[in-house]
A and B are shown apart, each in its own frame.
Chain A
Amino acid sequence: MIAEFGLAALWLAAALAALQLFAGVMALTRPGEGLGAAVRPVAVVQGALGVIAFAALMVLFVRTDLSVKLVAMSSHSAKPFIYKLAGTWGNHEGSMLLWVTVMGLAGAFVALVEKRLPERTMLATLAGQAFVSLGFYAFLLISSNPFERLPTPAPEGNGLNPLLQDIGLAFHPPTLYIGYVGLSVAFSFAIGALVTREVGPAFARAMRPWVLGAWIFLTIGIAAGSYWAYYELGWGGWWFWDPVENASLMPWLAATALLHSVSVLAARNALRAWTVMLGVVAFSMSMVGTFLVRSGILTSVHAFAVDPERGSFILGLLAINIGGALTLFAVRAVTVTEGKRFAPFSREGALVFNNVMLSAVLGIVLFGTLYPLIAEAMGAQVSVGPPYFNPMSALFVVPMLAVLMVGPLLRWRQDNPGRVGKLLILPLVAIVVAAGAMVIMGGVGVLPALGIVLAAGLAFASLMPLRGRSLKRTPLAIWGMVVAHFGVAVSLFGMASESAFSVEKLVAVRAGDSAQVGPWKVNLKTVQPVAGPNWTALEADMTASYKGGARVAIRPQSRSFWSPPQQTAESALVTRWNGQLYAVIGEQADDGRWQLRLWWKPFVTLIWYGALLIALGGLLALIGRVSSDLRRIIAREKIAYRRERQGR
């Protein structure tokens, strides 16, 4: 029953999306017939139906209803509750259902709360949102029905990929999806504004909170994914330039650029066409990412099914949505009038630089990610990894970060270097000191050394916008900017330090023996078998002591899951304020020794703390912007009310 109920909700939601599109277009082309009034309520009900369908699937997974094909394929009755729940989106169909659910919810949310846009732009926006949703509904209902029944219920489920059975990963996909799909709102806004030609500060102020919201979720989702890859894969790295990671990074780069250009549009009414373009590009990158991940064109833990039909379906959707939006842009962009002008040495100038550099990095990542596909079409099998991505992206990130030190200090329109120079004394001192330290230390690679020097300068420069302000009266949006930019410095320092100062030790030891890695002394006591709900493992009982201090117990495992059969390495971590000890146990050699892989990674945790600061900065800015918008709306209503009373 529940499966049929969910399927019915899904069909209804799809029908309402069609109605939303139809009513929106009709209201735009034939105003005065009253169809426009239907669009908002339909969008809200469509969102609610999506939630109902998704909830139905969650119930099926929690109950492990093995008569449903999807549950039988990717769940198991012996799985812990939380992973049964997470199993809902840990597969192709469920994750696509989550996609349309979030998209419907975003549309409903816009319809409910967005009152600042002109009504016509609003109608075009919701129609655009419905158009994109409709494609994904069709995809679900035609080629990926999550509610499909089996002719006879399966005796037991196939289980969930063990790598995905991890608490961090359970909530990684929903976070990332809210970010991905949240960008659809920016996309639809851009479409709406192109249709009605109303691109201006009001449009930018309306769009900004949505972009900020999606961007915050993307930032957290990427950071969580990176930390998951770091401790779950047992390889000690935190970013592999895996196509799936790139798929999440590309929308983030575009959204970051959009976030900054939308500020220029809101404050100065410049960069109009460019901002609209970025709105289209950001969500297009989300869809490209989905295509790469879901089509199975790339093999990884994320490619749940290799199915050419699905791949071509998503590719078709991609072509229609992106192609259509770009065509509309090409036709309409010329008619968008130029924005206000500004001098190169100004806040706008710095933000344009930031946007161009971010776009260049986006191009580099996109090109590198697609290159293996292009090469394969020409008959060569290649893979592209860090030797390409690291230096090539640094080429554009380094100048961008250098300008980031100065940009927030500049005035809008025009500024003079002399005024700003005084503010940069402290950051410059930090840069010189850090550079000196790097030279004295020696042996640090070029990129990590550059990273540390830039991080030192940026840490101080990012705080400079607060100088001369009363901290209490500083608007939240400024705090947000300062915190986020400081977070960039923190994260950058973590990355550079991990790359420059990590110590690795690979040894084979007998029980009772010790190994030294950096300042840590690690002792292997015994290795014994242990069992979990759906796995068995060999667990190493070890102690670690930092510079001869107290001993901490650590227990890395080599886990064997039995459904589906697979082995994973569960690393053990000891976190200190100044870094992490990372331990993995390998195989037992014929002579009875155990392989141990140990790393000491100074300040590695700053990578993710920095990312959290960046997200926190976004949150502060979001709260600041929304509350000041609210205040403005309330003030306007008060004035209107007073006028009305006087007039009477």
Chain B
Amino acid sequence: MAAIKPKHQRLVLVLIALVVLIAAGLLAAWALRSQASYFYVPSDIVADPPEADRAVRLGGMVEEGSINTDADGVTIQFVVGDGEARVPVRFKGIVPSLFVEGSGVVAEGRMGSDGTFIADNLLAKHDENYVPRELQDMTEHQAKQVVAEAVEAPAQ
């Protein structure tokens, strides 16, 4: 060790740091491609369904009259639509207070093998100034007038 000059030692340290950081960057890029959760509207799901068990988010409008509570009192089923396609959703948990029929929602979860979307978490507008980010831009997606109206309608 004693033979190494300070200049060489610095070079070696810089190289090690660079190699580790580049490796971290490459790993991160690879992991992001496989782990980032993409945003879908119902017609996307129907046209090109995500692989089962891949974390995705589904945004759209909760259809009127579609919310049903199971016998256990904590599992609900409802349908999210965007005017073109409809996707059934199952959620177990406490719903956000502004989660109502005819209003916009973003569900985080994954597609089940039976074609039902299993939601781990629901995001609704939690006050009239706040709209989930994806719903703000919905009109730019295939989401149709229906969704836009639901989002812009005042909270009930």
Contact = CB atoms under 8 A, between A and B. Distances in A.
Contacts of B38: 380-382
Interface string B1-41: 10011110110010011001101110111011001111100
Interface string A329-349: 000000000111111100000
Interface stretch (A108-116, A245-253, A384-392): A384-392
Contact of A569 (B7, B32, B94, B127): B94
A631 B73 CA distance: 69
A535 to B, nearest CB: 13
Contacts of A587: 94-95
Interface in A544-561: 558, 560
Given A383-B39, A566-B127, A593-B73, A363 B21 contact: yes
Contacts of B57: 383
A395 B27 contact: yes
Interface string A273-307: 01000000000000000000000000100000000
Given A343-B1, A392-B31, A385 B55 contact: yes
Contacts of B6: 338-341
Nearest to A352: B13
B101 interface: no
Interface stretch (A175-183, A213-221, A364-372): A364-372
A355 B16 CA distance: 12
B36 A506 contact: no
Contacts of B21: 356, 359-360, 363
B93 interface: yes
Nearest to B36: A382
A338 B9 contact: yes
Nearest to A396: B24
Given A383-B57, A508-B73, A597-B93, A363 B28 contact: yes
A565 B128 contact: yes
B139 to A, nearest CB: 13
A371 B36 CA distance: 9
Contacts of A593: 73
B153 interface: no
Say which size band chain A's interface belongs to: 35 or more
Contacts of A364: 24, 27-28
A384 B73 contact: no
Interface string A570-587: 000000000000001011
Interface string B122-155: 0000111110111001000000000000000001
A606 B68 CA distance: 40
A75 to B, nearest CB: 16
A567 interface: yes
Nearest to A375: B36
B28 A367 contact: yes
A338 B7 contact: yes
Contacts of A375: 36
A589 B94 contact: no
Interface in B57-110: 57, 69, 72-74, 92-95, 97-98
Nearest to A162: B127
Given A385-B37, A587-B94, A595-B74, 16 more contacts: A299-B130, A342-B9, A359-B21, A360-B20, A363-B21, A381-B38, A382-B39, A388-B35, A392-B27, A396-B24, A508-B73, A565-B128, A567-B97, A584-B94, A586-B94, A595-B94
29 contacts: A274-B17, A339-B10, A340-B6, A341-B4, A341-B5, A352-B13, A356-B17, A360-B23, A363-B25, A367-B25, A367-B28, A367-B29, A372-B36, A381-B38, A382-B36, A383-B36, A383-B39, A383-B57, A387-B55, A388-B31, A392-B28, A395-B27, A506-B74, A507-B74, A564-B127, A564-B128, A567-B126, A586-B74, A595-B74
